[in-house]
Amino acid sequence: MKFSLSWLKQYLDTDATIEEIAAKLNAIGLEVEGIEDPAEKLAGFRVAKVLTAARHPDADKLQVLTVDTGEGAPLQVVCGAPNARAGLVGVLGLPGATVPANGLVLKKSAIRGVESNGMMCSTRELELGEDHDGIIELPEDAPIGTSFAEYHGADPVIDVAITPNRPDCMGVYGIARDLAAAGVGTLKPIEALDIPGSFPCPVEIRIEDTEGCPAFYGRVIKGVKNGPSPQWLQDRLKAAGQRPISALVDATNYIMLAYGRPAHAYDLAKLNGAVVARRAAEGETVVALNEKTYTLDAEMTVIADQSGVHDIAGIMGGEHSGCGDATADILLEIAYFDPERIAKTGRKLNLTSDARGRFERGIDPNFLEAGLAHLTKLIQHLCGGEASEIVRAGAAPGTPKIVNFTPSLVEKLGGVKVAPAEQKRILESLGFAVVGEEAEWDQSWAVTVPGWRPDIDGGPDIVEEVVRIHGLDKVASVPLPRADGVAKPTATPAQTLERRVRRAAAARGMQEAVTWSFLPEPAAQAFAEGPLWVLANPISEDMKAMRPSLLPGLLMAAKRNLDRGAASLRLFELGRRYLRGAAGISDERLTVSLVLAGEKAPRGWATGKATAFDAYDAKAEVLALLAEAGAPVEKLQVMGEAGPQFHPGQSATLRLGPKTVLARFGMLHPKVAKQFDVDGPVALAEVFLDAIPARKGAASFARVSYAPPPLQAVTRDYAFLVPAHLPSGDLVRVVQGADKANIVAVRLFDDFRGQGVPEGQKSLALEVTLQPLEKSYKDDDLKAISEKVTTAAAKLGAVLRG
């Protein structure tokens, strides 16, 4: 959630600085992710006046300007803008300033032989607009020499991370309310508006899906004039990360960002008949405002007329009925939609929007009338027009939630003592209504929860509100009680086993992966041994099924790494797989899984082609991990039936007797490899730690930490003709030291003597690995490194083969 400081102060009367506001937001649980101060970006830019303008002696499209900066002698600046002329007041970037649009650092330079001391700037270069046809033209009375940031009025922007349980803070007003409760200024009340209509609403509005849309209000405004919104509104929307579109659309977005109340405006001329909130017909389609077509089902709520669907309710409007420059009459829609229905529809369609983010969290059901009034006032102010009477269909859930609360609960659960009077003040400042005696610690209060706080369910939630506003920093740090003497071990046998196995796998050169416990349903089904656990309310379709095996997640991780150029992968993961036991009981099994993909050994002069992993490599890893876990490996039997996910002729299981399966290993079945889109042979295995008998003794392994480089390595091959008596190791060492900053490895992969190689010489081929650190290599960089390699090799008499 982004908003500008001036927007916040529209609702909060305060003299606090941006730093004080950010500190208080963090203190009350609204994490500030960043502060953008335009004044910093505009440092070094000054209001300046062009005194003279003459054509550049060597360029027809350039002019040589003398510019008054308000300090000292005028500066000479070369400019190519068509509107540059004597008398123009604009913005000059002085040497040392950084252009916000492209990061260019300005400096004194010569352009076509003429000295230039800076740059006259356009709005796009300063990220103040899209105009790039000419330089900025300021009013003639603009103060020459003034900092442009000061003149323009730089407005800092705060970016706050809003947790899913705080829908009230999805609007600037809600954030202002929290700050006021915490003592940062005074909250300004929302203006009470009553905008009566001058004529009956000509559009019938009704609800056929009362479950998905309990309330639907609307009104018509005739005679509006759409166009660009004013600069103040555009600035606020841009600060919030929104792209200004038109006055009508910007007005609805402004009300949504200001009060957390989404709304929608339809072009009345594009509607046909009554406007209805109903269920979509199975297979019905709509083209949304993002220009994509969505296929709907009967579980989704839509807004439609006689012609068809115009709006995926609570998520995104349709392209057909959107407002444009020619729009003259509009229908305003403001409704209350069921949060669960909105969330399910959004996941099914894989469609996100600002409206969905607010509706699925829960909006204030009591702000329908007021929200419509404020939106009507804003549209009439921006676009004019005459409003109709309001049409109301249904009613939003209006029964207030009342929580029984005892003030002593704050100290009991929160660990801090807050006087009952202060608790009451905090709750009332947050919008709660409190009935109860202020002086009594143990008297039960009746706390009425405001409509904008659907996350409040009981006493512990009230405690959280009191404690965070009172100050989380005031909660004392209290150490846990500890028995006298030497501390006893806290790790369970299972935890100790996990640590040993994890260290053993890392010590054998494998890299640990941590994947999600949830999978796409097709990926989970590929490794299922029975019915899956499928979530009824998943975060997304890609995280719908609980994993029956760790292998699907590892295979997807292997594909991502192979696609990005990884030559060899040795991945393992230690975690739990989730099986659906008898009578629907969840069964969690501790498992180690591993995937070996890519090259087992790279190409070399002695081995020839690169070799791939095979089933025996997976078996070796499994036996090592089983031994570390204490399994009697000398008693294990190798048997078949590894599962349909494995290649039937290149897989097996390790068992203690015919029934106790401790592990399975082998090559991935080609059909499964195709399903996961993994190229090349892949060896994989699973070790079922829960089936291993208790191990006697324990081994010790050193920790292995691995931090991958930020950029992908680059390899280059070189073939040199060298004297036959030259040891290949000498050539490798010389090339290795040719550029220590970039060359991280050199390996000999071919030693050839024969046809094409002169008598008394041999051909040595080297693979040189280059590792970029801060940025990727360009062609010139690689050419320079190659020259260093060949120059260093030449010292030993080596010549690059043609």
User: Which CATH code fits 714-800?
Assistant: 3.30.70.380
State what percent of residues in the chain have pLDDT above 70. Answer: 98
Pairing of strands 518-519, 205-207: unpaired
Average pLDDT, the chain: 90
* CA distances in angstroms from 230 to 7, 225, 234, 373, listed in the order given: 15, 13, 6, 20
Q: What global pTM score does this model have?
A: 0.65
Banded pLDDT at 231 (limits 50, 70, 90): confident
Residues 641-699: pLDDT tens digits?
899 999 998 999 999 888 899 999 999 999 999 999 998 899 999 999 988 876 454 43
* 464 is annotated as contributing to ligand binding: yes
What's the CATH fold of domain 401-474? Phenylalanyl-tRNA Synthetase; Chain B, domain 1 (3.30.56)
CATH class name, domain 205-394: alpha beta
* 599 is annotated as contributing to ligand binding: no
Residue 17 burial (CB count, 10 A) = 11
Q: How many helices (H) and strands (E) does the chain have?
A: 20, 41
Banded pLDDT at 591 (limits 50, 70, 90): very high
Average pLDDT over residues 278-294: 93
Angle at 85 between CA 82 and CA 89, to 5 degrees: 110
| 9 SS3 class | helix
* CA distances in angstroms from 610 to 160, 563, 616, 743, listed in the order given: 51, 18, 17, 22
Report the candidate in 275, 256, 269 with the shortest Cα–Cα distance to residue 378. 256
Residues 693-729: pLDDT tens digits?
764 544 333 333 446 788 999 999 999 999 999 988 7
Banded pLDDT at 583 (limits 50, 70, 90): low
Instruction: Give the relative orientation of helices 420-429 and 172-181 as an angle to the nearest 10 degrees.
Output: 160
In the beta sheet, which residues pair with residue 599? 612
Using the predicted structure, report yes or no on whether residue 221 has a pLDDT greater than 70. Answer: yes
- For the chain, what is the largest distance between any 2 Cα atoms, rounded to a whole number of angstroms? 106
Q: Contact, 124 vs 131, CB < 8 A?
A: yes
493-691 placed in CATH 3.20.20.80: no
Tokens of 115: 């000295």
pLDDT at residue 564, rounded to an integer? 92
Spatial neighbors of 785 by CB under 8 A, at least 6 apart, are 716, 738, 739, 742, 743, 770, 777
Using the predicted structure, report yes or no on whether residue 607 has a pLDDT greater than 80. Answer: no
CA atoms in the 13 A half-sphere facing the CB of 690: 10
List helix spans (H) across 157-311: 172-181, 231-239, 247-259
In the beta sheet, which residues pair with residue 577? 589
Tokens of 736: 């290795």
What's the CATH fold of domain 40-152? OB fold (Dihydrolipoamide Acetyltransferase, E2P) (2.40.50)
* 33 is annotated as contributing to ligand binding: no
Domain limits, the chain: 2-37+156-185, 40-152, 205-394, 401-474, 493-691, 714-800
2-37+156-185: CATH architecture: 2-Layer Sandwich (3.30)
* CA distances in angstroms from 731 to 199, 721, 737, 740, 756, listed in the order given: 92, 11, 10, 15, 21
pLDDT at residue 588, rounded to an integer? 87
| 560 SS3 class | helix
pLDDT at residue 707, rounded to an integer? 66
pLDDT at residue 131, rounded to an integer? 75
Average pLDDT over residues 472-494: 81
* 19 is annotated as contributing to ligand binding: no
Pairing of strands 275-279, 205-207: parallel
Banded pLDDT at 341 (limits 50, 70, 90): very high
Q: Contact, 773 vs 740, CB < 8 A?
A: no
Tokens of 774: 């801060």
Query: Measured between alpha carbons, how far is 534 from 551 in angstroms, rounded to an integer?
Result: 18
Query: Measured between alpha carbons, how far is 120 from 64 in angstroms, rounded to an integer?
Result: 11
> Residue 609 class from Cβ within 10 Å (0-12 exposed, 13-18 middle, 19+ buried)?
exposed
In the beta sheet, which residues pair with residue 63? 55, 79
Using the predicted structure, report yes or no on whether residue 193 has a pLDDT greater than 50. Answer: yes
CA atoms in the 13 A half-sphere facing the CB of 188: 12
pLDDT at residue 76, rounded to an integer? 95
pLDDT at residue 284, rounded to an integer? 94
Average pLDDT over residues 509-516: 94
List helix spans (H) across 153-227: 172-181
Helix (H) or strand (E) holding 746: strand 743-752
pLDDT at residue 704, rounded to an integer? 35
Question: Do 2-37+156-185 and 401-474 come out as alike in CATH topology?
Answer: yes
Q: Contact, 558 vs 519, CB < 8 A?
A: no
Using the predicted structure, report yes or no on whether residue 621 has a pLDDT greater than 60. Answer: yes
pLDDT at residue 698, rounded to an integer? 42
Residues 542-566: pLDDT tens digits?
899 999 999 999 999 999 999 999 9
pLDDT at residue 330, rounded to an integer? 96
Report the candidate in 588, 595, 592, 551 with the shortest Cα–Cα distance to residue 569. 595
Where does 602-742 show beta strands of DSSP type E? 611-612, 637-639, 646-656, 660-668, 682-688, 714-723
| 237 SS3 class | helix
pLDDT at residue 582, rounded to an integer? 66
Using the predicted structure, report yes or no on whether residue 513 has a pLDDT greater than 50. Answer: yes
Task: Tell me which amino acid residue 698 is.
Answer: A
Query: Measured between alpha carbons, how far is 461 from 453 in angstroms, rounded to an integer?
Result: 11
